[in-house]
């Protein structure tokens, strides 16, 4: 590897590290996003405590819809996904 290539690689690594640190921080998320993540986490914790598989989060319903190859799933909300999949 030449000196220029080594310098370019170091620069790219520093850039990627900086980007990764700045983008995934709770500090930079909107209040709505933080609230949604909190609710999702609370729903998962509740299911773990009770051993129940319901109510599922939108993400879990989306993954199930993806498995069943349901069209338009990305535009559906949690309730619509649940109805489409036959959950109550």
- Residue 39 CA to residue 77 CA, distance in Å, equals 15
Owning domain of residue 59: 54-88
Q: Is residue 74 part of a domain?
A: yes
pLDDT category at 71 given cuts 50, 70, 90 is very high
Q: Is residue 73 part of a domain?
A: yes
Specify the number of domains making up the chain: 1
Q: Is residue 88 part of a domain?
A: yes
Q: Is residue 40 part of a domain?
A: no
- 55 Cβ neighbours under 8 A, 6+ residues apart: 43, 82
Distance of CA 66 to the CA centre of its chain: 15
pLDDT tens, residue by residue, 10-51? 898 888 888 777 666 777 778 888 888 888 888 778 777 877
Q: Is residue 24 part of a domain?
A: no
Q: Is residue 20 part of a domain?
A: no
pTM of the predicted structure, to 2 decimals: 0.44
**CA nearest to 54, candidates 88, 83, 78:** 88
Q: Is residue 31 part of a domain?
A: no
Q: Is residue 78 part of a domain?
A: yes
């Amino acid at each position: 590897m030449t000196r220029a290539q080594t310098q370019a690689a170091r620069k790219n690594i520093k850039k990627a590290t900086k980007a990764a640190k700045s983008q995934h921080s709770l500090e930079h998320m909107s209040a709505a996003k933080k609230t949604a993540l909190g609710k999702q986490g609370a729903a998962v914790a509740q299911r773990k405590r009770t051993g129940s598989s319901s109510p599922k989060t939108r993400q879990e319903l989306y993954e199930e819809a993806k498995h069943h190859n349901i069209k338009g799933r990305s535009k559906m909300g949690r309730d619509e996904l649940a109805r489409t999949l036959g959950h109550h």
